[in-house]
Every structure is written in structure tokens, then in C-alpha cells.
Amino acid sequence: MAFAPSLSPSCGLFSCYASATKSNEIEQRFPLHTRSSFKSSFSGEFLQRSLISKTGCGLGGGSRDSLHFHVRASASVLADKSTEKVHVPKGDMWSVHKFGGTCVGSADRIQNVAEIVVNDDSERKLVVVSAMSKVTDMMYNLVQKAQSKDDSYVAALDEVLEKYKATAQQLLDGDDLDGFLNKLHDDIYKLKALLYAIYIAGHATESFSDNIVGHGELWSAQMLSCVVRKLGQDCSWMDTREVIIVNPTNSNQVDPDFLESENRLEKWFSKHSAKTIIATGFIASTPDNIPTTLKRDGSDFSAAIMGALFRARQVTIWTDVDGVYSADPRKVSEAVILSTLSYQEAWEMSYFGANVLHPRTIIPVMRYNIPIIIRNIFNLRAPGTMIGGTSSKENRDVQKLDSVVKGFATIDNVALVNVEGTGMAGVPGTASAIFGAVKNVGANVIMISQASSEHSVCFAVPEREVNAVAEALESRFEQALGAGRLSKVEVIPNCSILAAVGQKMASTPGVSASLFNALAKANINIRAIAQGCSEYNITVVLKREDCVRALRAVHSRFYLSKTTIAMGIVGPGLIGATLLDQLRDQAAILKEDFNIDMRVMGITGSRTMVLSELGIDLSRWRELQKEKGEVADMEKFVQHVHGNQSIPNTVVVDCTADSNVASHYYGWLRKGIHVITPNKKANSGPLDQYLKLRALQRQSYTHYFYEATVGAGLPIISTLRGLLETGDKILRIEGIFSGTLSYIFNSFIGERAFSEVVSEAKQAGFTEPDPRDDLSGTDVARKVIILARESGLKLELSDIPVQSLVPEPLKASPSAEEFMEQLPQFDQDMAKQRSDAETAGEVLRYVGVVDALNNKGNVELRRYKKDHPFAQLSGSDNIIAFTTTRYKDNPLIVLGPGAGAQVTAGGIFSDILRLASYLGAPS
């Protein structure tokens, strides 16, 4: 059963409301002058004295005149009392604090707030408090239940009562506790009466609803004031409905009347001139003394209004975060706390959903240049974020060197509407008609973009409103669409908005270029762009699925907090394992000195793989592979490495020589995954596939690096590209490309047998497990074809004649061991070739040649004079000579180690660092 208070039959006001089913019926039953009095009566004074008292209704007789007189008298109580005029002191002696619901969510937290207030050494303090955590929602729910004829509102209100009662019993004692509980029970009794009236009528006016939901703040302020007094500091509590006067607008907001509010503050302060004031947040009154609320973020708004009224030194907003972040830390783990924000930056970021202050909260304090400080009540050591005008503190903002963009914010669940047609160009009023139709359906336009050709207008609206917008536009422009003056009204769903905000962006060249470059390198397409002439904001519309990745990419670009790269290592064999160890040894230095954060998210071999959400501990990767290894699955592996939404950049490093792995490169690059490899199979495979791969690389911002495919760690590919990009022309490339064969022929001297040298090279780890893979010359041929294609020659691997060093009878040997056993039988032939060369004063060298002039290449064993550079090699060194139009007489020579796991892994590592520099790391 709903609560039914005992009411006097003579209470005309209550009986009329209880019997009405719609609010307009109230207006029909009261004449005009009584209706205005009815509105005025719902002030805090009315609730305390007029509606219900312990002895009856409190309104006297039921006549209209007596009702009118009583309400007028109640509304003028303050004016009738004669008190000595005390002017409100204003200025820097005041500090304003605002504590939200989380800050006063329990007895312990209220005690903590009281201690913060007492410890503030400001001369005067005003503290604005919210209702206890979740209470305002509970109060709104009460109203909803009562309107819906759900009598469980009674039990729900009792739950609120018990919450405050239990809290007060933990905090207060003696007269303070008795006084608070008496007031609390009295308020609850009156609220049940109001809710019963709503229950009977099935409807609540806005003033009734606002009056009910604001009680949480009243109780919090009264409780906190008692605790502060208990700690030895005198204070008064303020019902801000007596002070803050606002005018409702048509946009579900209110505008403060500062002149009238200052007058009311003077009256209030003449009776309560304490140096510490505990004030209610969220609630206020209209000029007719009707209770209302400050709507969204009302408590913050209250604090800003009070700060402006007192001309305070600062307003501190206490919350549960350390300050304002450069981006949502739930989406960008590298987001940093901003030490300062300008008023304009805070406006822009809050509009786009950042957890900052609502723009209207900033307006009151901005008038007097009063800073707002966001601080964490649970971490008093954190200095927080100061929002205000620019100051010297801005120079101490040490986020990063390039801080023209202060922060990034996003809005999800957005749709684009595109109105397009040649008939729009040069026709005045088209935009007005479009947005007039949008206004008529009550939709909120978040962003607008129009090309100077006037051919189309596109704008973003919340996705839930887009269907109504599209229907309204199609109806409004039905004739124009039919006649062809407009070609379409198009809806693009599933979008998100990304905004970059910063006051220093104004007049700073290159900001847009950097932003769009970062998005392009992250392989993200932009659907619409908008920038105001103030240049404080650049807004782009993206696919919703790309939003988080885009946010991380641009944040990394501007903050350079860490160029974070998610890495997947394919092939943890000799080269892959060496690379992982090199990454382990350098990771800390790269992170600290160069802001490069390389996280190996997965390692896979042909049979097993190990995956990690945060990055594999490279000091234990071998153990983890054994302990947590799972069956290798390339698709799952790549999806895991690339699908990690906390890292914007992904690279797969293929350390194998597997053609099957190489066949995945094209698909990976299309997905925005960078590829780095020493694997020659992709670049020396079928020409059409190679050309397709390179075309994709050039068209996108996804990188494909393969320096280690030729010359291990030597800069062969980059040298060749440098020559071509600067306008040089390749005539010939000739070199010793195999470290293995270089070692063999450097060691094949004197009376040593060829088979002995090959065996020595195998034992030293210079050859493949089967030395025939090296002696066949196929590996050198692949390097030749790679360099030929890089030089612009369109050759297939089959176009390269190769002289094999594997004796013909041994090519079919079933195993490497049997091959090595039989190889000494053929030493005589190689010994004769060596002897002939020595007789002519020459040496044997196994070389590859790219003849660019004749569009051909070859691989063969050649003889060189002993004073030739190729004859001067030692060990496993490689040497490559570039003959070009610039270096025609004296070829450009690159010389150095060309074999070994350390050297090859170093070449791969160099490519990884080059990728990092392309992605934004300092060079």
C-alpha cells in the first residue's frame, strides 16, 4: 500500500493535487493569482512550514484568499526579519571546495572530507557537497516509481533514510545526532507526502521532482557541517536554494542570475557570517522561489557559481582521479596527467566526452579568471590539473617537447548524414533548410563539414537520432530529390568522432599534417573533417572499429610518450632466437632513451606458439614457450598480435626461410600490419606477386622492410635505394653475396681440400644444415634477383643462370651426411680450378652479377686478380660493388660481415628501429 498521510480535509491545496490526474487540471481548479502562489509555495520554506506539519496541513482555511496570503507571507519571511546588514567579504581570502558523491559515499569518506576542510589554511572556506554516492539516482527512481503507481517507492525511500541514518550514527553523537535525525525523519515524512501526491496523480511536475531529488545534498551538507564543528572549526551550512537563483532555458539547462544571487547571498550572509560554510550542490531556486536543480554536473556548477559570487582565489573539484588525462586512460595506457589546461581547452575536451568539467561550469569562474583545480581525494600527493588562463606553470608542463595538442577525446555511436546534389551550389538558404529540419526533430548536430564547392553538406548526429533526421530531410527535400536538384540523403552509420584539442594549435603550422600522417600510418581512413577558425580543435570522423586504434596512434605521435609497437616473431630458430635476445638486452635502453616500447606479443614456430596480452618476458621466453606453449596457428597468432587494442602499431617479423609464411605478407600489409624479414622467398618468388606486393607497399602507409634479405646486416638494399632515389642509374651490381661461400673460398688456399673446407664451415655453423643449399648457388641467385628487381629489371628467378658447386652425382644424395661423405671424391676438380687460378695470379670467388644495361643476371664461380677488392676478403665477409653513372670508374663498394646469426639479427633489428622512426620515434 502507498503511504497515505493523515491530512486535514480543509487542506484545499493537497486535496486538489491528490485528485488531479494531470498537472494542467491543477491550473483549471485554481484562478490565476492562486496558481502563481501555488508555484511560489514550493520553496524550501514551504516544505518546512506549509505543506504538512505535525499538527495538520498548516495552511489554515481552504479559502483562496487565505491561501494566497499565507504563501505570500511565507515567501517574505527573510525580508521581514530585521537584522544588521553584514556585507559579504570577497576575494582571495576564499577558497571553494567541491566534493562529489564518491567523496562523501560513506562515513569514513565524510570524515576524510571534514579533515581536508579543517586542514585547509585558507582564511575563509566554502565547501559544496553532493548527495552521497548513488542517492540522487535513487531519488529520481522514487519519483519514477510514484508516477508509475508503484508503491514500492515507500520501501525505496526508507532505504535512503537508513543509508543516511546509519552514516550519521557513525559520525555524530549527542545533540548533533539527535538534531540531525529529527530533521531527517521530518524530511522523510514530508517526502512521503509529496510522493503520495504524485502516486495519486500519476504525474510529477518538474518542480516537485526537483524538490525531491535535491534532499540528498541537504542531508550531506548538514551532516558534514556537524562533523566539521566536531573537529573544532565553527561553520554554518547553506541551503543554496536561498542563494543561487537561476532562470530555466528551453535546452534543459539553467542560466544563473548573478545579480539576484549576489543580493540573496548578502541577505544570507547577514545571518550566517561564519568563516567556513558547507553548501549544498546541485540545487537552486527560480526567481519565483520554486526549487529547481542545476541539471547535468550540477554540483560542479554550484561550486563555480559560488566561486564567482565570492570572487574566490580558486575552486577545487575533488574527485577520484589524479587529474585530467591527455586521453582516456582506459583506451590509451600511455595517457598522462595534464598539469594545466586553458579554459578553452577544457571546454573543447569536455564537449567531446572527456572526463573534464562541463563547459557551463567554467563560464562563471572564467569571468573573474578564477582557476579550477581537479584533484584526487584518494591521492592527496597528486597535484592535479589546473584549469584557467595561461600561466608560468604552462612552461613546466613537461609532458613532451611537442605539446601543441593538449589532449584527445572521442565520441562513439555517431552517424554521418550526407546531403548531396549539384542543385545546392549557389542556392541561398539550403543549409538553413537542412538544419531547420534537423532542429524540428530535436536532433543534436555534433559536427558539420561542407566543401567550398557547396556540392554537399555532411554532419554528424548521435546514431539513435539518425533515422528521424534522414526521414525529416527526405520529407523536407522530397521535391528537390524528385527533380534531381539533390541527388541523395545518405546515412553512414557506425562512426566515431576523434577530436584533437590544444590552444597552442592556433597558428602552429603542421599540426593537421602530423595528425593526418599519424592516422594514415596507422592505416585509418578519415570520413569527414572539421576545424574551426579558432584552431583549438581538429575533428575527424572515422569508422567506429578504428576509433581506439586511431586514438592511440595520434596520442603516440604528439606525446611521443612511447612509440609502442606490438611485435610477433615468426621462427624462433637460430636467427629468431638471436633477435629475441638482442631485443631483451636493448629493450630498457630503447624505452628510456628513445621512447620506443617494443612488446613481443607472440612467438610462433612451426609446431608451438606462445602468446601474451601485455608482452612476453624476454628474459624467460624459452621457458615460457615450454610452459605455456600451445599448438601453432598462424591465423590465431596474427589476430592476437594485431588485435591488441592497447597498441596502435603492429609488426610481424618473419625470421624463417619458409615460402608459406612469405605468402601471407600481402594479406598482412593490407590489414595494416608492418612486415620485416630476412626471408628472400617473397621478393625472389613469382614476379607478378612481387610487383603486387611492392605496389601495395607504395600505396599504403604500411611498411615492408627486408634489408637482411641481401648481405645480412650490411646496408645493401638501402644503399641501392639511396642511389636510385637521388637520380643515379645502376649499370652493374657485382658481389660476393654468400657469407658461407665467401668463407669457403677465402679458406680454400694452399693444399687444403675443398671438402675439408666445406666440413669446417659446416662445423662452424656457417652453412645450412645441408651444405648443398649453399653450394647450389640458389641462395645467391635469390639475392641477385632481389637486387635486379630493386634496380627496375623485371626478371624471374628462372632467368638467372646459376653455376652449381654441387657435383652432379651428389645432387640426389639422400642426406647431408651421405653428401659430406662422398664429397672428397670430387676434390680433384676444385683443386685443378684453384691451381689454374693461382698460376695466373688469380683467386676463385663465387659471385652474383646484375647486368642492368643488358637486363640480365648470373651466378658463377669467377677468377679475380689478387689486387682486386674481391680478392682481399677474409672470413665470411661480403662485398658488393655498385657501378653507376656516378660511380662508373670507381664502383661504390659495401664491405662487411655477411653471415652469422648475430649479424643477420642485427640487420633485422635495424629495420625494426627504422620502422619505429617512421612511426614517430625520435631519430
- Give the catalytic positions in this structure: 783
Among all chains, which residue has been given the C-alpha cell 556548477? 301
Are the C-beta atoms of residues 496 and 410 closer than 8 Å to each other? yes
Amino acid identity for residue 691 in this structure: L
- What does the block give as the cell for 630? 600451445
| Cell output for 135 | 542517492
Whether 740 contacts 767, CB under 8 Å: yes
Q: C-alpha cell of 618?
A: 624476454
CB 917 within 8 A of CB 594: no
Strand partners, 448: 459
Looking at 32-63, list the stretches that DSSP marks H as alpha helix, in order from N- to C-terminal side: 32-41, 44-49
How far apart, in Å, do the first and last CA atoms of the chain sit?
A: 75
Q: On the CB side of 646, how many CA atoms lie within 13 Å of its CA?
A: 16
Give dist(CA 880, CA 894) in Å, integer. 5
- 438 φ, ψ to 5°? -65, -40
Cα-based distances in Å from 139 to 105, 131, 221: 15, 10, 17
Report which secondary-structure segment, H or E, holds 193. helix 174-201
Q: Counting beta carbons within 10 angstroms of the beta carbon of residue 425, is it exposed (0 to 12), middle (13 to 18) or buried (19 or more)?
A: exposed
Spell out a b/e string for 207-240, using b for 16 or more CB atoms within 10 Å of the CB, else e: bbbbbbbbbbbbbbbbbbbbbbbbeebebbbbbb
Residue with cell 664491405: 895
Residue 51 backbone phi and psi in degrees, to 5: -75, -55
Contact 309, 299 (CB under 8 A): no
As a whole number of angstroms, the distance between CA 94 and CA 782 comes to: 79
Supply 637's cell numbers: 597468432
Please, which residues bridge with residue 877 across strands?
Answer: 897
Compute the distance between CA of residue 81 and CA of residue 84 in angstroms, rounded to an integer: 10
Three-point CA angle 95, 101, 107, nearest 5°: 95
CB-based contact 820:759 (threshold 8 Å): yes
Tell whether the torsion through CA atoms of 147, 150, 155 and 160 is positive or negative.
negative
Q: Where are the beta strands (DSSP E) in 208-264?
A: 236-238, 246-248, 254-256
Region of residue 295 (left: phi > 0; alpha: psi -120 to 50; beta: else): left
Do 129 and 157 touch, CB atoms closer than 8 A?
A: no
Sheet with 526-531, side-by-side order of all strands: 447-450, 456-462, 407-420, 488-501, 537-543, 526-531
User: What is the widest separation between alpha-carbon atoms in the chain?
Assistant: 136
Instruction: Provide the 3-class DSSP secondary structure of residue 624.
Output: helix
Spatial distance between the Cα atoms of 435 and 418, rounded to a whole number of angstroms: 12
50: which residues sit within 8 A by CB, 6+ positions away? 41, 58, 59, 70, 71, 74
SS3 438: helix
d(CA 11, CA 61): 7
CA distance 868 to 323: 69
Q: Write the DSSP symbol of residue 284.
A: E
